[in-house]
Structure 1
């Protein structure tokens, strides 16, 4: 009787319109399954039971689970295909600090070990694998990972496994994560991996700037991805583009490619607006970033790699950046020597080529650029054009430091290093074609 009522006549009466890749025929409310939103009652079993119940409708128009206002304490739970998780305004999904509620998972094939520690890893708060057509959205509902305890224990080296991420979808296709506030993840916030056709839109992601490894959005061995209209405050990179770690990453060999990033604002005093790597061993190609802002942030778009990584970072296009109070406007590091173990191959030399920046305004910058390639493996095809930077250095400090790189510049102030000579008339390229993910149109759906 419960399943019939949930499928055909949910008692939820508030009707809200929202945008999604697909709408659903069936609707249920979390309280239909006995959930208690007092912030104290554990609802892990309820979330999992509700989603299992609704999974039967995957072939009949799909289903959506409405999380109403309240504070819904839970451990990790798994999503299903052709499914929407809708978190209403005033609703807070709280990640429990009871570690028994976070099931262990095997290490990721492209990492070979846990990212935090050699052991395995714990399941994300919201997890799914081998799914199709999944939407996690709301009208600015909240997911709070309550991560501070996890950060403290991690720094005290109390874990031999990797802390949970907030949202992780693996081996999945057609994903939307949008219009939510995400707070204090135990580790990375949004981690799609080995997946494709992904839209991340309208997220407010906030963690303490002193938190541990709270990356905002980490597309990892993913293709056809659109990240837009997000505001991120982080203790690590706001967006970290990844594709596996050293020998494990280039063995799996799934690149991240065809990625759009636009209209994103980042605050991260100790990390980057966008990091390319450091786990880039499966390759990163065709990243297009535009209309992005970094404030009080260590660097803008940073390449992070090293000998032993293998892989490549190429065909990167960035335009219309606004940077305020930065340590580095441009930073590339060929000596980012964090390795999963000692079995990496120093002959696995990364290829860094075709990195394009244009139309940048930066104020209160400490260093214009620190560009360090690899001896015997220079970073090539660097193009920087139409850039104005206002420095905060004393006159005796060099604004640029460049080694083992090659490229050109045009209309860049202050004057770049000798390995980036001025070439008049150059306007660094930005593609004019459209990626398929740009043409995905969202439908207007109802939450009731």
Structure 2
């Protein structure tokens, strides 16, 4: 026993408590540097040094992905898979082979069936080990965690005959590309609760090249399917994975509630990969999208809620959505979009701390006569533009319709939209707000904006049928449609006409 009353007692090791596995093992983790006659100054120094070293060790070893501590920070050939559920299976338990050639659809289906039997016991976890796991589309079940290890790649099979056909989405009434049925998604779920898709940055790869080529050659008779689609479900977490080369939209939550999407990398070629949107919340409520990197062939994020008369009839808005801390690139489209399919309504959206680079457009709202509904209570804060053609866009003539049955007098309402702390450089047209007499843009606000231009031309802040205000200093100078206020909120200059149009598509 250590004599704590005798200052000359200097133990040669630190004793760990006994346990069934380690007994009373002497651990020489802390050597004795000083003898029993150590002076008080050295004792104080050693105590402080020990605390600092101990704290630093725990700080650097904390592994945020698994929620625990890792002994070393270097990469290992394989990492132990955390148990996020009480019961965990490996895909190999069901005959899975990760050679990139063997078809593993049956293994995934058997694993999901086994987990579905555990709903009353908290569900189960399916671990996908390192390897290339070729599969046709498969479904998830409630109370399930799909965990992709580091080096695990789920590969979508390159044959559309393996992809099931599904009815059109009820709020669309029509396939997005063709009338009638649409292809399902590689990973799919309906009417589920408590779904987790996560990992050590494993990958779900749709191998979309075949789909993109056939789409361009008009060889497909049905609308392409998303990579991951979850419908009519709640309590969803998708994190810490890479989604790559989707045939169509990449991640499509449809009519879902309580969704968290974080720490994703979403990739597709920025050209030649049509309609590969990154994340498309569609008629969703209570959602957070944060800490993601997105570089794709269409909109980085596109918030939707149904298409024309079908979306109006379905009547499910997208509401209460927070999007923050993203880096986005969209060479052919926009970083963050709302619409154009927004016929169920879109409200209470916050987009903040976003860096959009090397893109055609920055943040965009797009709609058209026939959409109906509304886009309101939209807040953009702390947005950085870097090398864009157009920074802020509102477009009201995005005339794509499912069929001739839409009501051309169903005019959407656009109101209560704010842009605060908008900065950047290398932008040709910082602002283009194109309202119309039937679809005016109401109560728009700009504050704290400074965007560097690539072209020194007039009318780079373009407006038509816009009503709202500018607070404080904004560069470039705002259009004449907006009232000017000082930083204290005092009216400086009232707009002469809100209907003035200086939209210029020549640059």
TM-score, normalised to structure 1's length? Answer: 0.90
What stretches of structure 2 of length at least 5 have no aligned partner? 1-77, 490-507
Note if contact 1:75-1:95 (Cα within 8 Å) is conserved in structure 2. Answer: yes
Whether 2:317 is the aligned partner of 1:255: answer yes
Distance 2:451 2:79 in 1: 51
> Larger C-alpha radius of gyration, 1 or 2?
2
Q: CA deviation at 1:87?
A: 0.4
The verdict on how the C-alpha distance between 1:206 and 1:426 changes in structure 2, with shifts beyond 3 A counting, is farther
Whether 2:93 is the aligned partner of 1:28: answer no
Q: CA deviation at 1:17?
A: 4.2
Q: CA deviation at 1:416?
A: 1.1
Distance 2:478 2:464 in 1: 12
Partner of 1:3: none
- The equivalent position to 2:358 in structure 1, one of 288, 293, 296, is 296
Whether 2:332 is the aligned partner of 1:270: answer yes
Partner of 2:191: 130
Partner of 2:125: 64
Distance 1:377 1:61 in 2: 50
Note if contact 2:459-2:479 (Cα within 8 Å) is conserved in structure 1. Answer: no
What stretches of structure 1 of length at least 5 have no aligned partner? 1-12, 428-448
* Paired residue secondary structure (2:306): coil
Distance 1:38 1:214 in 2: 27
Note if contact 1:187-1:212 (Cα within 8 Å) is conserved in structure 2. Answer: yes
Whether 2:257 is the aligned partner of 1:192: answer no
* Paired residue secondary structure (1:421): strand
**Cα shift readout 1:155-214 (whole Å, capped 9, x = no counterpart):** 112122111101100000001111001110001110000110000000000100111000
Q: CA deviation at 1:119?
A: 2.3
- Within 5 Å, which residues of 2 pair with 1:114-125? 114-125=175-186
Partner of 1:435: none
Distance 2:483 2:424 in 1: 20
Equivalent residue pairs, number: 410
Note if contact 1:63-1:82 (Cα within 8 Å) is conserved in structure 2. Answer: yes
Distance 1:171 1:349 in 2: 28
Note if contact 2:411-2:438 (Cα within 8 Å) is conserved in structure 1. Answer: no
Higher deviation after alignment, 276-285 or 290-299: 290-299
Partner of 1:243: 305
- The equivalent position to 2:210 in structure 1, one of 149, 158, 161, is 149
Distance 2:81 2:419 in 1: 41
Note if contact 1:364-1:390 (Cα within 8 Å) is conserved in structure 2. Answer: yes
Distance 2:447 2:289 in 1: 24
- The equivalent position to 1:15 in structure 2, one of 80, 84, 108, is 80
Whether 2:425 is the aligned partner of 1:360: answer no
Partner of 2:152: 91
**Cα shift readout 1:258-286 (whole Å, capped 9, x = no counterpart):** 00000011011111111010000000000
Partner of 1:338: 400
Distance 1:423 1:177 in 2: 43
- The equivalent position to 2:486 in structure 1, one of 418, 424, 446, is 424
Distance 2:89 2:81 in 1: 14
After superposition, the CA RMSD in angstroms is 1.3
TM-score, normalised to structure 2's length? Answer: 0.79
Q: CA deviation at 1:322?
A: 1.0
* Paired residue secondary structure (2:120): coil
* Paired residue secondary structure (1:422): strand
Relative CO higher for 1 or 2, CA cutoff 8 Å, sep ≥ 6? Answer: 1
Partner of 1:207: 268
Distance 2:483 2:360 in 1: 25
Note if contact 1:165-1:189 (Cα within 8 Å) is conserved in structure 2. Answer: yes
- Within 5 Å, which residues of 2 pair with 1:40-119? 40-119=101-180
* Paired residue secondary structure (1:186): coil
Q: CA deviation at 1:357?
A: 0.7
Distance 1:366 1:426 in 2: 31
- The equivalent position to 2:240 in structure 1, one of 143, 164, 179, is 179
Distance 2:376 2:221 in 1: 35
